[in-house]
Structure 1
Amino acid sequence: MAHSALSLYPALINYVYWKEKQSFLYEVDTYEDWVMFAVEEGAFAYGIDGEEGTAARGEAVICPPGVPFRRRVLAGLTFHFITFSLKPVADGAIPDNLLPKPGRKTKFEYRHSRRQYDNFAGLVSRAGRTDATEAAARHWANHLLSDIWLTLWTDEEAAAGGQETTEDADELMAEASAYIRRHAFGEMSMKRLADELGLSQVQLTRRYRRAYGMTPSEHLASIRLDKARALLMETDLPLERIARECGYENGFYLSRVFSKKMKISPSEFRKLNRL
């Protein structure tokens, strides 16, 4: 599926983790920003501009700004409530002709459920961080939201193509994913990871792609480039410093990787996307 030259990427505005909610304060609400209700336990009925249904564990409902969102708790609801904006970035996000809009699909399943639950667990652990950790916590929360967003759409495209996933049955790849996230900004050796898991690098790559829809190297690059984008937008750090912060050898190498993936140079990206 071809992506447009510029796509839209989520930027976190607010996050709340609700546990065992028995009812909503308002049965109909309209939000100024994009919202996501991602269900962990329980279920609720919803209606968004002609689409009606129920959402339960492993499902997320996304509502665009300015659209009345009808909802009613059906069973004690534990869910992640996320408000976010969508920012234009160079190629690599979601084709805008598929974005949730009035009259288009608004509910999504977590086909890669373990990866998504890990992401939401990360959001819970970072909720309420303040003082010295606030900036770092917000950066990581944005990274997790970005991965949730992209994974939802990767799953949607896979489902449309009739593809299956074996992630839930592959505990070893969940270990590999956690390892990559822990070591993303330091020395990262795929050979060492494969050795620790008792696999060859070819086996690791094949199984990881089956589980997550991308190779280990692609996952690593997405984590690093997400941080690079955040630092370019939110700080005045020079490229050399950003490269070191993101696990790259130098600014030249980061620039080459960034430009190839994003179809725009880091300096141009910074000019276009300063907050």
Structure 2
Amino acid sequence: MAILVEIMHIFDAAGSSLDGYLLAPRRPRFSFGSDTYEGWCMLLPRNGAFSYEVEEVAARRTRAVGEAGLRGEAGFGDIVISPPGSTLRRRMRTPTSFFFARFRTALEPPIGCSRLRDVDRLRANLSLLESMQAACDEGRQRLDAGLVAAHVVDDVLITMLWERTREGAREDVLVRKAIAFIQECFASPDLSLGDLARTLGVSSSLLSRRFRDVRGVTPVQYLRGVRLQRARELLTGTDLTLQTIAEQCGYRSAFYLSRVFKATTGQSPSEYRAG
């Protein structure tokens, strides 16, 4: 009942006012590497990837922060939110098409980057906006595409807060312990699902099921994400060799790190570092 009441409050507060939007086709770079906005803004990739940083100092301690934090890399399904008065920095890692919107809202979405689980819904909304915008440009549709863009913003915000509320309600001690153990031990190349389950005193199947229910991914997928995020940070923030980075991220060799990195990001580590 408490979850239902909270969700009803989310819907009651919805109804964002759109100040402007851009549905941009694939391009190699952003027109501006950073900007400071008076109101809220939302930036999300349709394909490709970009790095981001939300410089949000004054309200950092009073607003919720997305699970991916105030800086990192965003791909499809990731939503980057910048609050009023903050500076949003961004740089494309690969050629990217994206949706950008400036808006006002009574909601308090988490700032920085959050990942939507319902990516099919997001994809459908963006496809609808693209079709509507094309029809308006060709004079085949009198309905303002801006109305659809406002719907996309509202739907993303509501979905984001709904998923966050459900996750908070379903989070359990087992999953919290698993996440803490992975964060502490991800650099060990011998860390496995079996090891993690034995440490926590449960079966591998139970741990995987509970973890997926709460986080939307398996423990193994979460571990890979933690390792690759650390690899990205070391590639762009240090001059360490690829072999040293691999060892610090839980991989036995630079070759294996390169294979996993390329399969996940579409770029080799050297291409990512050069970009």
* TM-score (ref. length: structure 2): 0.53
- Give the alignment partner of residue 176 of structure 1, picking from 164, 175, 178: 178
CA contact (8 A) 2:174 2:200 kept: yes
- Distance in 2, matches of 1:183 and 1:16, equals 33
Structure 1 residues 240, 39: closer, same or farther in 2, change over 3 A? closer
Preserved contact between residue 10 and residue 87 of structure 1 (Cα < 8 Å): yes
Which of 218, 231, 235 matches 2:234?
A: 231
How many Å separate the matches in 2 of 1:166 and 1:261? 28
Residue 257 (structure 1) aligns with: 260
Please state how far the C-alpha of 1:160 moved relative to its aligned partner. 3.8
Residues 185 and 191 in structure 2, CA contact (< 8 A), matched pair in contact too: yes
Deviation per CA, 1:186-211, whole angstroms, max 9, x where unpaired? 24222111112222212111111111
Report SS of the residue matched to 1:86. strand
CA gap 1:103/1:174 in 2 versus in 1, 3 angstroms: same
Q: How does 1:61-80 map to 2 (within 5 A)?
A: 62-63=82-83, 69=85
Q: 1:9 to 1:174 in 2, by over 3 A?
A: same
Aligned to 2:250: 247
Structure 2 counterparts to residues 87-126 of structure 1, below 5 A: 87-90=91-94, 96-97=98-99, 99=100, 101-103=101-103, 107=107, 109=109
Tell me how many residue pairs correspond in the alignment.
177
- Give the structure 2 partner of residue 50 of structure 1: none
SS at match of 2:260: helix
Task: Give the structure with higher Rg (CA).
Answer: 2
In 1, the alpha carbon distance for the partners of 2:240 and 2:106 equals 38
Q: In the superposition, relative to structure 1, how do residues 169 and 14 fare at CA in structure 2: closer, same or farther (>3 Å)?
A: closer
Find the aligned partners of 2:109 and 2:56 in 1 and give their Cα distance: 22
Q: 2:217 aligns to what SS in structure 1?
A: coil
Alignment gaps of 5+ in structure 1:
20-36, 41-59, 70-81, 111-147
Amino acid at match of 1:8: F
Measured after TM superposition, the shift of residue 214 of structure 1 is 1.5
Deviation string for 1:108-158 (max 9, x for gaps)? 556xxxxxxxxxxxxxxxxxxxxxxxxxxxxxxxxxxxxx844x2326758
Residues 106 and 263 from structure 1, CA distance in 2 versus in 1: closer, same or farther, beyond 3 angstroms? farther
The DSSP-based 3-state class of the residue aligned with 1:38 is coil
CA drift of 1:252 comes to: 0.4
Q: Deviations over 1:29-84 (max 9, x none)?
A: xxxxxxxx6259xxxxxxxxxxxxxxxxxxx9733xxxx65xxxxxxxxxxxx865
d(CA) in 2 for partners of 1:204, 1:259: 28
Query: In the aligned structure 2, how far is the partner of 1:260 from the partner of 1:108?
Result: 36
Question: How does the TM-score come out when normalised to structure 1?
Answer: 0.53
Alpha-carbon distance in structure 1 between the residues aligned to 2:50 and 2:237: 18
Gaps of 5+ in 2: 1-43, 66-79, 122-157
Partner of 1:10: 52
The amino acid that maps onto 1:214 is V
Cross-structure match for 1:115: none
Cα separation, 2, equivalents of 1:3 and 1:61: 12
SS at match of 2:63: strand
Measured on the aligned residues, the alpha-carbon RMSD in Å equals: 3.8
Deviation at 1:104, TM superposition (A): 7.5
Q: Deviations over 1:167-198 (max 9, x none)?
A: 54411111111111011112422211111222
Which secondary structure state, in structure 2, belongs to the residue aligned with residue 185 of structure 1?
A: coil
CA contact 1:8–1:89 (8 Å) conserved in 2: yes
User: Partner residue of 1:73?
Assistant: none
Q: Does structure 1 residue 270 correspond to structure 2 residue 247?
A: no
The 8 Å contact of residues 62 and 107 in structure 1, kept in 2 or not, is answered as no
Whether the aligned pair in 1 keeps the contact of 2:81 and 2:112 (CA below 8 Å) is: no
Task: Give the letter for the 1:268 counterpart.
Answer: E
1:38 aligned onto 2:80: no
Identity across matched positions, percent: 28
1:12–1:18: structure 2 CA closer, same or farther, 3 Å change rule?
Answer: closer
